[in-house]
Amino acid sequence: MREIPQSFTLPDYSKSVVNLSNWVLANFGFEPIHASLDLPTGFKRVALVVIDALGAMSLERMLSRVSFKHIKEYETITSVFPSTTASALTSIYTGSLPAEHGMLGYILFLKEYGFLTNMIDLSPFGYERDLLRDRMEFSLPVKTIFQRLEGVESFVISPARYSGSGLAKMLHAGAKQIGFTSVGDFVLKIKRVLNSCEKCFILAYIPNVDSVGHRESMAAYLNEAIMILKQLDALLLRDVPRDAAIVITADHGMIRTPKEKEIWWDTSSEVMRYLEMPPGGERRMMHLYSRKADELLEFLESTYGDKGVFLKREEAAMLFGGMHDRIGDVVLVALEDYSFNFRYRFKEDSLKGMHGGLSRQEMLVPMIFIGGGVNG
């Protein structure tokens, strides 16, 4: 068994975004499928606000610079592995572990179809979005939390441009979809639904911080998050109904990744001598598909041993919450602020911020709980 570096923050599947979603089930009197976070219950109305890529360490920096009226403190929970949107959002929307729902990264080899798949677009490279959902009936093997909340009116508030996509159809099953077009519109729609329903669950998702963090400076990333939190603080949190709870969290955090620490591969790279196909996963973690796992490990450890950790499938399984046949034969996890990048279409470029790995910046997310006063 290869040793996991102490610098890594492992997913804690007793105190993670998975367990936060299971608290939602427990709050409404349903049996959780995994352990629930230890939070008050008995609220008739719950809004779970997910700010994509808002890491706990970044929030700490914001709280030292900006004063909020209602956002004063938070608890820290972990994301899942990999710490990326396709995996973590699916865990939040279903309350299940990555090994249970099978969304194990941004890019995956799906054996049942025989090709590498973009799990956000639900299509192989070069094909139209949602090919798997529309023509091949791809679906999740688990229920969404909305489908489990029988008798509770459920809503998803997410960008209007996502409405109708295959991923949205899967993750939003059992909920009414409401689109928004701006940060102000996002906050006002949460407030309007929360104040008008009698017994409801709202999952509100905003991707802006993640989008800015990938492409822009750290200052721009922090400013985007501060702007969203200020509007939530001023408009949503100031008068929470007594029978309501509002929880703010994130799917994962983000780490700054300097250009000089990027490793770039393509189909002509030496690593391809050991691979059956291009890698899956992310830039901070990869699924490597090989029939020569031992030789591949030897090559990686001798060539990139100071830049990454390399685990056999059996060794990596616990990170996903269990074994799954979509886990690569070898799983690569980047060390420090290194990144491993593959030119699938030779259109890929550098990103200033990334996620998917096991650093504190990526794995630790905040959980801000604002209850209107009802405790179960």
The per-residue pLDDT for 373 is: 57
Residues forming a β-bridge with 375: none
- Model confidence pLDDT, tens digit, residues 75-99: 999 999 999 999 999 999 999 999 9
Helix (H, G, I), strand (E, B) or coil at 19: helix
According to CATH, the topology of domain 259-353 is Gyrase A; domain 2 (3.30.1360)
According to CATH, the topology of domain 17-103+140-256+359-371 is Alkaline Phosphatase, subunit A (3.40.720)
Cα four-point dihedral sign 23, 25, 26, 27: positive
Q: DSSP strand E in 219-270: where?
A: 244-249, 255-256, 262-265
Structure token pair of residue 134 = 């529309």
Q: How confident is the model at residue 175 (pLDDT cuts 50, 70, 90)?
A: very high
CA separation for the pair 171, 140 (Å, rounded)? 9
Q: Has residue 295 got a pLDDT over 70?
A: yes
| pLDDT-wise least confident of 35-49, 277-291, 345-359 | 345-359
Distances (CA, A) of 89 to 175, 188, 252: 15, 22, 9
The per-residue pLDDT for 279 is: 98
Mean pLDDT of 9-19: 98
- Domain ranges in the chain with CATH number 3.30.1360.180: 259-353
Q: Has residue 375 got a pLDDT over 70?
A: no
* Mean pLDDT for the chain overall: 95
Mean pLDDT of 165-183: 93
CA angle at 82 for the pair 88 and 250, rounded to the nearest 5°: 35
Mean pLDDT of 357-365: 98
Q: Which of 186, 356, 162 is nearest to 255 (CA)?
A: 356
- Domain ranges in the chain with CATH number 3.40.720.10: 17-103+140-256+359-371
Q: Has residue 31 got a pLDDT over 50?
A: yes
Q: Has residue 124 got a pLDDT over 70?
A: yes
H or E element, residue 146? helix 145-148
- Model confidence pLDDT, tens digit, residues 98-117: 999 999 999 999 999 999 99
Helix (H, G, I), strand (E, B) or coil at 353: strand
Q: How confident is the model at residue 20 (pLDDT cuts 50, 70, 90)?
A: very high
Q: How confident is the model at residue 1 (pLDDT cuts 50, 70, 90)?
A: low
